[in-house]
Amino acid sequence: MILYELIDFDTLRVIWWALLGVLLIGFALTDGFDMGVGALLPFVARSDVERRVAINTVGPVWEGNQVWFILGGGAIFAAWPPLYAVSFSGFYLAMFVVLAAFIVRPVAFKYRSKRDSATWRTCWDWALFAGGAVPALLFGVAVGNVLLGVPFHLTPDLMPMYDGNFAMKFLGLLRPFALLSGVVSLSMLLMHGAAWLTLKTDGMVAIRARAIGTVAGMVAAGAYALAGLWLAFGVDGFAFTSEVVANGPSNPLYSEVARGGSWLSAYAERPWIAIAPLMGFVGIAMAVRGLREGFEVSTLLWSKLGIFGIIASVGLTMFPFILPSTVDPDSSLTVWDASSSHRTLFIMLVVTAIFMPLILAYTSWVYKVLWGKVTEDDVTANSHSVY
């Protein structure tokens, strides 16, 4: 109880905003290379043996990596209920496509090797491609739409309402800036998948991964820079026009918000956040260098730094906004008015402090056990393995 009283409501809100970012970044850093390998599969591996090598680099770990996605969704549901309600209803069709891709992926892992038919296996290989490329693209599109703002408003009883018909909830997300954000996401995860393959494979698979990953990294850096310029000169930001009450009620309609200016004004107000995009560019540049020079462990670590910086730059640029509204800025969801109660956030923090170290310890142990390269001899010696 003493600790509960010491941690203010506004402090807990910021802690959970940061923890949500950590969970989403953790998902991108781990399951990101799974998606990248899947999207690269038809291009880095030409023969059946090569494809089995690539698949076996991620087959044993993808389920554990996806825990971060589940934790992120659970954290949104428990810590930010309005965000969960608005985003999961407004992005319903896009999330359905993502979930369908995530369902196809494990099915492809399990069924691919059940028959020796080349046609059968090729179909499942393209299913693995879709299971990696589609979510990687749509996650970026979603982030782009968050920066642009979403056409929803809240009724007086806080029920979210969307403009447009059911189909437009998906087609309306495919705006040019959002698609550019999708290119950033897809290309950086292709680079990440390539970095993973260079660490876990050798031979032609690794050589092709280095070549494709180098191009993907350059595309990611260029698209990220272009997105920054577009954000500075072509996208309106959001700002409070009323007094900010950091420990006020969890009611988005409690504050007044206006649209205008630039999101990048945050860098004038908080110059220290410039470290995030700097990490993004440096991480990508060094990962590209590592891919070209044939480095392995350092390349993957630099790739992780680049992804961390890119995703962190979005959250830091938008803070304290989480999901802005284009049709009614006052309905915009922010850190200060879209959270669960003080007690709920505190209980969740205690649970997280207990179980997060266990998850990290177990994950570290798994990667230690599975350390080493997957070779063609490994997969040919066990032709009837699951993968």
Here the tokens at position 298 are: 């350092």
Tell me, what's the pLDDT at 64? 84
Tell me, what's the pLDDT at 80? 92
Cα–Cα dist 55/38, whole Å: 8
Give the mean pLDDT of the chain: 90
Tell me, what's the pLDDT at 179? 95
Tens of pLDDT, residues 186-204: 999 999 999 999 999 999 9
Tell me, what's the pLDDT at 295? 93
Q: Which residues contact 182 (CB under 8 A, 6 or more apart)?
A: 137, 138, 139, 140, 141, 144
Phi, psi of 323 (to 5 degrees): -145, 100
Tell me, what's the pLDDT at 114? 84
Least trusted range by pLDDT, from 126-135, 153-162, 167-176, 221-230:
167-176
Averaged pLDDT, 47-73: 88
Q: Is the pLDDT of residue 169 over 70?
A: no
Tell me, what's the pLDDT at 270? 94
Tell me, what's the pLDDT at 376? 81
pTM (2 d.p.): 0.93
Orientation angle between helical segments 275-293 and 203-234, nearest 10 degrees: 150
Model confidence at 215, pLDDT cuts 50, 70, 90, reads very high
Is-cis flag, bond preceding 320, omega within 30? yes
Higher per-residue confidence, 15 vs 244: 15
Of 126, 109, 140, nearest to 45 by C-alpha is: 126
Three-state SS string across the chain, please? CHHHHHCCHHHHHHHHHHHHHHHHHHHHHHHHHHHHHHHHHHHHCCCHHHHHHHHHHHCCCHHHHCHHHHHHHHHHHHHCHHHHHHHHHHCHHHHHHHHHHHHHHHHHHHHHHHCCCHHHHHHHHHHHHHHHHHHHHHHHHHHHHHHHCECEEECCCCCEEECCCCCHHHHCCCCHHHHHHHHHHHHHHHHHHHHHHHHHCCHHHHHHHHHHHHHHHHHHHHHHHHHHHHHHHHCEEEEECCCCCCCCCCCHHHCCEEEEEEHHHHHHHCHHHHHHHHHHHHHHHHHHHHHHHCCCHHHHHHHHHHHHHHHHHHHHHHCCEEECECCCHHHCEECCCCCCCHHHHHHHHHHHHHHHHHHHHHHHHHHHHCCCCCCHHHHHCCCCCCC
Averaged pLDDT, 132-146: 94
Tens of pLDDT, residues 20-29: 999 999 999 9
Model confidence at 65, pLDDT cuts 50, 70, 90, reads confident
Tell me, what's the pLDDT at 164? 63
Tell me, what's the pLDDT at 214? 97
Averaged pLDDT, 38-57: 92
